[in-house]
Amino acid sequence: MTRFALTLEFDGGPFMGLQRQDHGPSVQQAVEAAAKAVTGETVTLHSAGRTDSGVHALAMRCHLDIAKVIEPFRLMEALNALLRPDPIAVLACKVVPDDWHARFSCIGRAYEYRIANRRAPLTLERGHAWHIARELDAEAMHRAAQALVGRHDFTTFRSAHCQAKDPVKTLDRLDVRRVADHVVIEAEARSFLHRQVRSMVGTLALVGQGQWTEAQVADALAAKDRTALGLNAPPEGLYFVRAVYPED
């Protein structure tokens, strides 16, 4: 068996998420089906993160094991040909050691969240950003975000369905900046709880609109209570942008 590491880009819009689901199409199912068509083998795709329905990826790192002898470039080309018309692309493919694991070897993950902050509805960006018509104070959002950076119990900012045993995580970075009529939020951590980024962004958006004070974000964190959450941001603005491994 040879282990291949893949870097995937996908538009999450048509999928129920990255992970295989019983009730609809997933990125995993599409890639595994393409790999089966190339190799004749039943393979399992492992990924650095598990993105929700509608969440996008610019560079999701994954791996799969294949018995068939095939060059990485040829595997990539064959998968890309078979994945059409699904909006999933293999950007890179290489052979990795058998003990390299897309999920367990990963030591850092980064997400970007894009808010289109303008009065007019979205056209070209539809499905690819969260549209907020009311003007956001990105500087206030950034200041409030700093209360979430560090090692904390993120119970307030996790989904009720989160399967992680421990709600304590270390958030390395949570930066908010304005880029013309967009507000971009970047989050980095070794790992995140389920819905953590969207929960944090939703709450910061309340600060940006003046509905919450900056101090209320710290209070919500301290409450360690999901019902203290301000708002869950929608999936279409979220992008998985980077997975970090020791060898990088």
Q: Which residues are annotated as a binding site for substrate?
A: 111
Residue 87 as a binder of a second copy (CB under 8 A): the answer is yes
Q: According to CB under 8 A, which one of 50, 101, 128, 194 is a site residue for a second copy?
A: 128
Q: Distance (Å, rounded) from C-alpha 150 to C-alpha 212?
A: 21
Six-digit token string for 204: 């910061």
| CB distance 133 to 126 below 8 Å | no
Region of 44-52, 78-86, 103-111, 144-152 interacting with a second copy (CB under 8 A)? 78-86
- Of the candidates 47, 40, 89, the one whose C-alpha atom is nearest the C-alpha of residue 66 is 40
| CB distance 171 to 141 below 8 Å | no
The type of residue at 115 is: I
**What are the backbone angles phi and psi of residue 102, rounded to the nearest 5°?**
-55, -40
CB-nearer residue toward a second copy: 67 or 91: 91
Residue 90 as a binder of a second copy (CB under 8 A): the answer is yes
Residue 80 as a binder of a second copy (CB under 8 A): the answer is yes
Q: Distance (Å, rounded) from C-alpha 111 to C-alpha 184?
A: 10
Taking the complex as a whole, the smallest distance from the CB of residue 87 to a second copy amounts, in Å, to 4
Q: According to CB under 8 A, which one of 126, 134, 151, 190 is a site residue for a second copy?
A: 126
| CB distance 55 to 237 below 8 Å | no
Q: Distance (Å, rounded) from C-alpha 5 to C-alpha 210?
A: 44
Residue 150 as a binder of a second copy (CB under 8 A): the answer is no
Taking the complex as a whole, the smallest distance from the CB of residue 80 to a second copy amounts, in Å, to 6
Q: According to CB under 8 A, which one of 37, 67, 91, 215 is a site residue for a second copy?
A: 91
CB-nearer residue toward a second copy: 127 or 167: 127
Among 11, 52, 65, 219, the one annotated catalytic: 52
Region of 95-103, 118-126, 196-204, 212-220 interacting with a second copy (CB under 8 A)? 118-126
Q: Distance (Å, rounded) from C-alpha 125 to C-alpha 86?
A: 19
Q: According to CB under 8 A, which one of 123, 160, 227, 247 is a site residue for a second copy?
A: 123
- Give residues in contact with a second copy (CB under 8 A): 9-11, 56, 58, 76, 80, 83-84, 87-91, 118-124, 126, 128
* Residues designated as active site: 52
